[in-house]
Amino acid sequence: MAKKYGPKNNPKSPNFFSFLLILALAGALISLFFKPDGLSMGNTSPEKVSISEVLQKYKNDELVSIEIKDQQIIAEDTEGNTYESTKEFSATIKDLGLDNLEKTTTVEIINTSKNKVWINLLIGIAPFFLIILLLVIFSRKAGNMGGDGGPFGFGKSRAKLYDKEKHNTKFVDVAGAEEAKEEVFEIVDFLKHPKKYQKAGAKIPKGILLVGPPGTGKTLLARAIAGEADVPFFSVSGSEFVEMFVGVGASRVRDLFKTAKRNAPAIIFIDEIDAIGKHRGNGHGGGHDEREQTLNQILTEMDGFETDTSVIVIAATNRPETLDKALLRPGRFDRRVHIDLPDMNAREKILKVHAKNKKLDKKVKLKEIATKTVGFSGADIESVMNEAAIASVKQRNEKVFQADLLEAVEKVSMGPEKKSRRITEKERKIIAYHEVGHAIAGHFTENCEPVHKISIISRGQALGLTWFLPQEDTYLNSEAKMKDEMVSLHGGRIAERLIFGQTTTGASNDLERISNIARAMVMTYGMGNRDTIGPVVFEKKNTIMSYDNQGGDLHSQEMAAFIDAEVKALIIEAEDRCTKIIEDNFDLFTQMSEDLLEKENISREDFMAYFEPVKKEVKTEKNKEGKN
């Protein structure tokens, strides 16, 4: 993957360095304890001096001692040097007298006390030098390590630097997001030809905010800008700063900007900026020092850019409304580029991009996959392709078939099947009736999406699922559709009540979703009763403790009562409609439930087949025969 350049990543872990340190310390200790006696050290090569020099010293009275012992001359001078002759010479000195030897013989300085001091000193100090050296190396490597930073990595930016050559993301790799690409194209041009813009006196944007739901390719787009402009790309995540000690985040930011400026033109990418850039001062206590300091440092660095610094900061968020206003002021992140979830065409393009390095069967229709992945993000679609490829390998097919892809779509949107979960017959029956209840209730409303699949095989947290599939991308929800959705969501619980006389805890998620829809209708979309509530938006500032209202609601207690009553009324209305639908189609409902109990899955085709022969018998809520 991304090969980094600049300071090289060291593959060795800090543990390796600790090991070296311990080794060095041990070596130092050993050398101190087993210090060999200086004079008898065999491996120091002695320096030869003429014996006349020694004798001269003797004459000059520069010798502390001279003795002839075992036919050997041993002498020591005032400077601490010791001299030791070879044995043959000692005899001759004794016999022949001093003068005759002057020019022909030498004594060896085996070891001198002076040298002894030096060597001992060296032996003592060397390990410490080694340790210091290792520490220096260690701290440098640790500082550069992209991963954990290590104890010496404080303050060093952990920004990942992507290789200009190796990591070559281009706009073609960002499939689908055509408008976003268009919007950032001038940024690329600026990074390529900064002089052109500077000459024209054009102000260059310093910060760009990429806004869009998770998985829509914000990081990919940022990387593609760097790839297209052929500039280095420094990437950090805002969430990394949150867990740091106070002050560390700020110094990392400083380091990051310094490095980027050194490599200018360059791009700094801050992912999840909402983690650091949240509104400040919302009374959460003093626990946000670190985040605030980091944020301030980013603002300071951005303000400090000279106009000719071609470093562009790109930040990504999926919640722009939570960002501190200071971040959005002119000269900071004043440019916004929105990346939406991909539509049908974009999904097909994304599928094609991810199909490139995979072998697809000829009969694969990516268009069909695109139609069945409404609401999927780019990342979801990537995992669909990947899951399909994995499935094809598991089945020892060398190619990816359409069936693999369809299976993968289900897996990605609902989680993998959990076949191992043991469920009693009694519970299986409850689950089957519950799911068919959803399907029937949804089918006989005007506005619910068509049933795609009913299953009583566990997936993730759910024991059973009814999957309604949108046929196309829609951007608006009508009041009627929201009401109908509530009806279908009631289906499971109502089915349980009609068949078993009571409900179970299993409907908790259904009820949660019903309540959310009803509340949103009343409090956000102005769909509540006009006389009591009216088209008013009721904000719930539930995370902020305001001084005047402890609960954080922006409406009065009286209004709260109206809202509660209206929400309840909407939910009850939907429940009543649901009960009526299931009761009106009771035979179909029980028949389908028993079939599901047997088959475990009911596909869209199986489901529609129920309505072909009995079309005329079916009583619809709004005369809804043949709805597709």
Q: Which residues bind to ligand NHX, rule: CB under 6 A?
A: 431, 434-435, 438, 461-466, 492, 504-510
Identify the CA nearest to 247 among candidates 287, 301, 304, 289. 289
Nearer to ligand NHX, 227 or 492 (CB): 492
Applying CB under 5 A, does 510 fall inside the site for Zn ion?
yes
Q: How far is the CB of 423 from Zn ion (least distance, A)?
A: 15
3-state secondary structure of 628: coil
What residue is closest to ligand NHX based on CB? Answer: 506
CB closer to Zn ion out of 141 and 490:
490
| Residue indicated by tokens 């439930």 | 593
Taking CB under 5 A as the binding criterion, the range among 329-337, 393-401, 502-510, 526-534 that sits at the site for Zn ion is: 502-510
In the complex with ligand NHX, the residue whose CB is nearer, 461 or 502, is 461
Q: Which does 461 bind (CB under 5 to 8 A by kind): ligand NHX, Zn ion, none?
A: ligand NHX
Nearest approach, Cβ of residue 460 and ligand NHX (Å): 7
Q: Does 492 bind Zn ion (CB under 5 A)?
A: yes
> Is residue 496 close enough to count as binding Zn ion by CB under 5 A?
no
Phi, psi of 502 (to 5 degrees): -155, 165
- Say which entry of ligand NHX, Zn ion, none residue 405 contacts (CB below 5 to 8 A, set by partner kind): none
- Contacted entry of Zn ion, ligand NHX, none for residue 463, CB cut-off 5 to 8 Å set by kind: ligand NHX
Binder of residue 146, out of Zn ion, ligand NHX, none (CB less than 5 to 8 A by kind): none
| Pairing, β 311-317 against β 207-211 | parallel
Q: Which is nearer to Zn ion, 55 or 514 (CB)?
A: 514
Token couple for 454: 């009913």
CA angle 328, 329, 334 (to 5 degrees): 60
Confirm or reject binding of residue 348 to Zn ion (CB under 5 A): no
Q: Which does 238 bind (CB under 5 to 8 A by kind): ligand NHX, Zn ion, none?
A: none
Instruction: Name the residue nearer to ligand NHX (CB basis): 447 or 466.
Output: 466
Answer yes or no: are the C-beta atoms of 477 and 492 closer than 8 Å: no
In the complex, least distance from residue 578 CB atom to ligand NHX, rounded to whole angstroms: 13
- For residue 516, the minimal CB distance to ligand NHX (Å) is 13
Between 51 and 431, whose beta carbon lies closer to ligand NHX? 431
Minimum CB distance to ligand NHX smaller for 334 or for 606:
606
Residue 13's binding partner among Zn ion, ligand NHX, none (Cβ under 5 to 8 angstroms by kind) is none
> How many chain residues touch Zn ion (CB under 5 A)?
2
Q: Does 207 bind Zn ion (CB under 5 A)?
A: no
With CB under 5 to 8 Å by kind, the binding choice for 65 among ligand NHX, Zn ion, none is: none
Closest CA to 387 of 401, 367, 374: 401
> Smallest gap, in angstroms, from Cβ of residue 434 to Zn ion?
5
Q: 529, 562, 443, 449: which is closest to 491 by C-alpha?
A: 443
- Could you tell me the smallest distance in angstroms from the CB atom of residue 523 to ligand NHX? 23
SS3 (DSSP) at 280: coil
Q: Of the listed 84, 292, 410, 435, which one is catalytic? A: 435
> Buried (b) or exposed (e) across 204-226, using 16+ Cβ within 10 A?
bbbbbbbbbeebbbbbbbbbbbb
Neighbour order of strands in the sheet with 106-109: 47-50, 106-109, 82-84, 72-77, 63-69
The CA-atom distances, in angstroms, between 603 and each of 289, 370, 451, 468, 596 are: 55, 19, 8, 11, 10
DSSP structural state of residue 369: H
Cα separation, 387 vs 402, whole angstroms = 12
Q: What, of ligand NHX, Zn ion, none, does residue 464 touch, CB below 5 to 8 Å by kind? A: ligand NHX
State the greatest distance between any 2 C-alpha atoms of the chain, in Å, as a whole number: 142
Q: Report residue 350: phi and psi, to 5°.
A: -65, -40
Nearer to ligand NHX, 45 or 461 (CB): 461
Cβ of 358: how many Cβ atoms within 10 Å? 14
The three-state (H, E, C) secondary structure of 326-344, written as one string = HHHCCCCCCEEEECCCCCH
Q: Is 435 a catalytic residue?
A: yes
Which is it for the CA torsion 191, 194, 197, 201, positive or negative? positive
CB of 506 to ligand NHX, least distance (A): 2
From the CB of 492, what's the least distance to Zn ion, in Å?
A: 3
Buried b (16+ CB within 10 A) or exposed e, 379-388: bbbbbbbebb
Active-site residues, by number, are: 435
Which residues of the shown chain bind Zn ion in the complex (CB under 5 A)? 492, 510
